[in-house]
Structure 1
């Protein structure tokens, strides 16, 4: 007679009931040890057992400015003797292998510090045409890859109300300049009046006239406000908003009597 298995300290037992002239008694028969559960296996597993793998927390999509060096980062843990390559999806073009460049476009270069797990693709003077998917690959069998999206944007400057704004004498002129598509806010924004070429018309906020101020809020969307209180006819003319990282925008202001 075989009773259900009994488990003790990781072993399976089958209890065999034996009958002879001395009576009945049970003989436990040990079977092979139970395999460890998946949870137990994971507890004993070391990070090295995983082999080469991506750290996705440090390998993300990026937005870069036209003309400003961009870096796509790929962090590979436990790389061992494997190599890291970068491939451009648009034309399935191999760009780099290890620290060597495999493209005639010398704007692309692999960057790696031996003290880190980071393998970066450097793109100098990026242009809008460089926008797209790039894949970081590890030379395992089969290869494994992680794709990232690079967006190359050019900041756009706009003054609300262009091309002309009409204001009555004595009113407040409120010019709003917005800089879009700028992952990094411009370091400076200059406003000029009646001289957009030499900059000699830069507005003097401390002039005896008074009532002129600028408020700038920086971020992914940067906004600069030029406020002119008690507008006069001499305040008429061409106003230019010039961010340090984008083309300027112009508006014509007309101060009307009456």
Structure 2
């Protein structure tokens, strides 16, 4: 008999590189699919600093939803400025973190912006995979 334990892993939906235009909203969704114990907290970092939701910058909000299928944490940064570019990391208290790099673009960069379209397909595949795994777990 062999027991194989895997550490829980957070996942940020979409591509690893996110491109947004200056002035638009950065929207990042982190899912933690732990059925037994939801995380006590989910912190978000920009580079190496914890994101301050009460900063003078304003326009930063967090929505966290805990359900039977896991926890979802959604970070919204409105009116994106160039300084909002960087490595965003979702850090649940009981799972491995997940990161994406956000590029805030000043002006139109069609080639870079089109790169982000691939994230929608990846998001659907990731979501479908999560549902299939959940169904498999429920039927066994």
**TM-score for the superposition, normalised by structure 1:** 0.39
C-alpha distance in 2 between matches for 1:249 and 1:189: 11
- Cα distance between partner residues in 2 of 1:130 and 1:181: 18
More helix by share: 2
Query: In the alignment, what sits opposite 2:73?
Result: 224
Matched, 1:239 2:92: no
Which residue, 122, 126, 130 being the options, matches 2:3? Answer: 130
2:20 is aligned to 167
Q: Distance in 2 between matches of 1:232 and 1:154?
A: 35
Quote the residue 1:158 is aligned against. Answer: 11
Q: CA deviation at 1:182?
A: 3.6
Deviation above 6 Å: which 4+ runs of structure 1?
Answer: none
In structure 2, runs of 5+ residues without a counterpart are 108-140
Q: State the distance in 2 between where 1:164 and 1:176 align.
A: 14
- Unaligned runs of at least 5 residues, structure 1: 1-89, 91-128, 132-151, 196-200
Greater fraction strand: 1
2:30 counterpart residue number: 177
Q: Secondary structure at the match of 1:161?
A: coil
Which shows bigger deviation, 179-188 or 153-162?
Answer: 153-162
- Cα distance between partner residues in 2 of 1:162 and 1:244: 23
Equivalent of 1:257, from 91, 100, 106?
A: 106
1:186 aligned residue: 39
Q: Counterparts of 1:1-258 in structure 2 under 5 Å?
A: 90=1, 129-130=2-3, 154-195=7-48, 201-219=49-67, 220-258=69-107
CA distance in 2, matches of 1:186, 1:248: 12
**Cα shift readout 1:105-153 (whole Å, capped 9, x = no counterpart):** xxxxxxxxxxxxxxxxxxxxxxxx436xxxxxxxxxxxxxxxxxxxx65
Q: CA-to-partner distance for each residue in 1:159-194, whole Å, 9 max, x for gaps?
A: 112310000011110000000134211000000001
How many pairs are equivalent?
106
SS at match of 1:130: coil
Matches of 2:10 and 2:60, distance apart in 1: 22
TM-score by length of 2: 0.71
